[in-house]
Chain A
Amino acid sequence: MKSLALFLTVFVACAVEAVEALTIVLAAGLTREWRSTFQGMAAALAVLGVTVAVLGPALTLVPLTGLRLVVGGLLAVFGLQWLRKAILRASGYKGLHDEGAIYARQVAAARTATGGSRRGVRDWYAFTLSFKGVLLEGLEVVFIAITFGASQQNVGLAAAGAVAAVVVVAAVGIAVRTPLSRVPENTMKFSVGVMLTSFDVFWGAVSWPGNDAALLAIVPATALVALGYTALLRRARAAARAAVPAAERSAA
Chain B
Amino acid sequence: MSRWLRQFGAFWYDFVIGDDWRGAAVVAVALALTALLVHAASVNAWWLLPVAVIGALGWSLRRATSGRP
Taking Cβ atoms with an 8 Å cutoff, the residues of A that contact B are 69, 72-74, 76-78, 80-81, 83-85, 87-88, 91, 93, 136, 139-140, 143, 197, 200-201, 204-209, 218, 221, 225, 229, 233, 236-237, 240-241, 243-244, 249
Contacts and interface: CB of A to CB of B under 8 A. Distances in A.
- What band does the interface of chain B fall in when counting residues whose beta carbon is under 8 Å from A? 35 or more
Nearest to A69: B35
Given A136-B11, A200-B53, A244-B69, A207 B31 contact: no
Interface of B: 11, 15-20, 23-24, 27-28, 30-32, 34-35, 38, 44-50, 53-54, 56-58, 60-61, 64-65, 68-69
Contacts of B45: 205
B61 A80 contact: no
A143 B18 contact: no
In the A-B complex, list the 7 residue pairs whose CB atoms are closest, starting with the nearest: A81-B18, A205-B46, A77-B24, A204-B49, A240-B69, A206-B38, A76-B27
B32 to A, nearest CB: 8
B49 A229 contact: no
Given A76-B27, A77-B24, A80-B57, A205 B65 contact: no
Contacts of B32: 69, 73
Contact of A81 (B17, B30, B68): B17
Contact of A237 (B46, B53, B69): B69
Nearest to A87: B61
Given A80-B27, A81-B24, A233-B65, 4 more contacts: A84-B57, A93-B65, A205-B38, A207-B38
